[in-house]
Each structure stands twice: as structure tokens, then as C-alpha cells.
């Protein structure tokens, strides 16, 4: 099966920005989710507050997963990107990860970065999920 591109109607249209929200690879049930950020339905950044951005980014990740019939329990890897990474921001991220996954979080790579796609954007998360 060739890869299938999926852009849920509940999320902003990413195509003008050169990407798609999800790709169903068809290979072993692997779903690739592009970076999600604190965007509204038009792609505008909703807040410049870090904790709010983390919450909304994970909400958008959940929306993306639901569009292909998956949930957070199907996630096997996260990539997280933090502008101005420090202990306080790590604690904020860890609190959300703990709330969602408890003591069984997925594999994760966290990168401190100088900047992200939009001015004021402080956090982004991408994911790999597997259909069970």
C-alpha cells in the first residue's frame, strides 16, 4: 500500500506550509505525525505562554491521532522541541507527559532549539504511532 497523507479538518491546513499532519505508511501500521504546536484551526499561535503551548500542542496531537482512529496509547515515540530549554520548562513538559502516559511514557527525544517555525513558538511535538 502506498503511503496515505491525512490532514484532519479539525486542524489547520498545513499544505500551504509544505507539510501534512499525518502519513499512514502502510508498513507495519506505522503512522507518522508531523510537529504539532499551539495552533488554532487557522494555524495561528494561540499563546506565548510555554505551559499553555505544551497543553495545546498535545491536544492537537490527540486530535491528529483520533483522525486515524488512534490515541495516546498507540504512540511509541515523541520528538519534543523546546525554545529556551531549562529545568522549569522540562518540569512543565514532564507534568503533561505524566498526566497522559503515567509511568509508561513512549520513547522520547527532547531537543533544546534556538527557534521554531513561527515567532513566539516555544514548543513543538511530533510522534510515531503504531496501529495495534
Q: Cα angle at 21 between 92 and 122, to 5 degrees?
A: 30
**What is the mean predicted confidence (pLDDT) over 106-117?**
98
Predicted confidence at residue 27, as pLDDT, reads 79
Q: Where are the alpha helices (DSSP H) in 1-132?
A: 50-66, 87-101
Whether residue 73 is predicted with pLDDT greater than 90 in this model: the reply is yes
pTM over 0.95, yes/no? yes
Whether residue 62 is predicted with pLDDT greater than 80 in this model: the reply is yes
pLDDT in tens, 112-127: 999 999 999 999 999 9
Topology, domain 4-130 = 60s Ribosomal Protein L30; Chain: A; (3.30.1330)
**What is the mean predicted confidence (pLDDT) over 11-23?**
97
Whether residue 132 is predicted with pLDDT greater than 90 in this model: the reply is no
Amino acid at each position: 500500500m502506498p503511503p496515505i497523507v491525512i490532514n484532519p479538518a479539525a486542524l489547520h491546513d498545513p499544505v500551504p506550509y509544505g507539510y501534512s499532519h499525518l502519513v499512514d505508511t502502510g508498513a507495519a501500521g506505522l503512522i507518522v505525525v508531523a510537529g504539532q504546536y499551539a495552533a488554532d484551526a487557522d494555524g495561528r499561535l494561540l499563546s506565548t505562554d510555554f505551559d499553555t503551548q505544551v497543553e495545546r500542542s498535545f491536544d492537537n496531537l490527540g486530535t491528529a491521532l483520533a483522525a486515524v482512529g488512534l490515541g495516546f496509547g498507540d504512540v511509541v515515540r515523541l520528538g519534543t522541541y523546546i525554545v529556551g530549554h531549562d529545568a522549569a520548562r522540562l518540569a512543565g513538559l514532564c507534568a503533561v507527559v505524566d498526566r497522559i502516559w503515567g509511568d509508561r511514557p513512549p520513547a522520547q527525544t527532547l531537543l533544546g532549539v534556538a527557534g521554531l517555525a513561527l515567532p513566539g513558538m516555544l514548543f513543538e511535538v511530533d510522534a510515531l504511532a503504531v496501529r495495534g
